[in-house]
A and B are shown apart, each in its own frame.
Chain A
């Protein structure tokens, strides 16, 4: 083997080693530009963490993240105001037709029932929940708890969290007959439950913390582990949506969330990562 051939082989090996050890975030090195993201509030921890990692390696990449809800995500990405519109529900056919959107499901989130931490009730069955939402049970005393009225909290129409709860727990044909106090984000739901000792509501499992108490449903604890094994059934997908196929920095961002590093971010944010469809 002559000297030239050896040198080429050595360079090739060096390149392969560099490529093998390059972190997925390295694709942003030397990139410039903006990525704007809006929509679902459950997505925000994942998007923020990814943005933080990207901005460390590529300070000229500016990523703006705002919430607003699934509807805002659809509207803003559809009208070209943002690059990525997040939703906590699958797009409706009319939304796809109207704006020509492409969806990227990237995580699974469980929806947990939650009560005030002072509430002595820790476990319920889906039959009991249906009775609460139909008004047959209206006091925690009827379930073995304190003599306190059950104040039901829910999410606004069109919320992905609400759709999951309604369809998978109550059933598609179930009619809610109790007045439901409505809030418009997971954060607002947490505040409401944390302040009301008689509250019963639901949030994404990733939002459970010491300020509210997750309810064990049919003997299964609401954890992401149970959601990933299928033991906990009340789950939904989280989506990123783009107008047409993503290009440039937007495509890199989406690819990044489907990488191993992206999967770690998703897991650390309390969700279950999904492979690229």
Chain B
């Protein structure tokens, strides 16, 4: 049977081209401004390790390290929680737990970031302050909030990847003498390994790029983190903090480079996810 090649409607093609052009323009703009900032602001040492306004040194390295630490720690918390919740969403689980949990997790995707941050500021931060000393505004506190923010996305990716897979394997595995937990642990989870990595990468990317939670919870100190309970500033928080104060000079140039670094990070993550998708 010969299928006739369907012609894509003109407006659909136009939409695709418009979106692609917009993304390309965004990349080009950020890249050009960042390269220009690095060339014009060479004497500011924008990729250096020191941030000292009085000496006109605007090194972003402490913020790069803080961003990666924040994303890494929150991804660990988030992955652990997501895998735990995933177990409760399996087809074998009683529906009195599974269904409300699924509704709740879907609801979590609609909660605005500012609600998480605001609540954490008045509930989580005082607890961390009492337990660890210091101000409570820290890498650790922000990581926990970022983990909760990214949790529904990770859980839903895992749940969707599992799909009918578990249902298909449940009966044969039971017949082989495996419990439902063993089926999930030794059959389903290894089968959806690519999706688990994809979920982790998505979580990492979101944590890296979020500005509001680190601005409100991480403390924003311009130093290298030496412990999880240190106050840190992420690149995205740096952009939101400095944008309101400076329009010229080294601080302003540092924003352009920070935006470029974040875009590169997101681009790399998208590339890895795409590669994983191909393999799957």
Give residues in A with beta carbon < 8 Å to B.
68-72, 74-75, 78, 92, 94-95, 98, 149, 151, 153, 156-159, 172-173, 175, 179-184, 191-192, 195-196, 198-199
Contacts and interface: CB of A to CB of B under 8 A. Distances in A.
Contacts of B5: none
A157 B44 CA distance: 15
Secondary structure dominating the interface of A = mixed
Contact of B244 (A94, A172, A184): A184
Contacts of B231: 179-181
B interface residue count range (under 10 / 10 to 19 / 20 to 34 / 35 or more): 20 to 34
Contact of A69 (B126, B233, B245, B248): B245
Given A98-B248, A157-B246, A158-B246, A182 B125 contact: no
A172 B52 CA distance: 12
B151 interface: no
B244 A69 contact: yes
Interface in B160-208: none
8 contacts: A70-B245, A156-B220, A156-B242, A158-B245, A158-B246, A175-B52, A184-B240, A195-B125
A35 B133 CA distance: 48
A61 to B, nearest CB: 27
A95 B242 contact: no
Contact of A71 (B134, B230, B246): B246
A182 B244 contact: no
Residue from the set B52, B137, B248 with the largest chain A CB neighbour count within 10 Å: B248
A153 B137 CA distance: 11
Given A157-B251, A196-B135, A182 B246 contact: no
Contacts of A198: 129, 134-135
Contacts of B127: none
A148 to B, nearest CB: 9
Given A179-B223, A195-B121, A71 B244 contact: yes
Contacts of B136: 196
Interface in B118-133: 121-122, 125-126, 129, 133
Given A151-B134, A173-B54, A181-B231, A157 B242 contact: yes
B28 interface: no
Given A181-B231, A182-B233, A196-B129, A94 B249 contact: yes
A151 B135 contact: yes
B219 A182 contact: yes
Given A95-B248, A196-B129, A182 B241 contact: yes
A176 to B, nearest CB: 9
B247 interface: yes
B36 to A, nearest CB: 16
A156 B129 contact: no
Contacts of A199: 135
B18 interface: no
Contacts of B215: 184
Contact of A94 (B133, B137, B242, B248): B248
Given A95-B247, A195-B126, A156 B133 contact: no
Contacts of A156: 220, 241-242, 244-245
Contacts of A94: 248-249
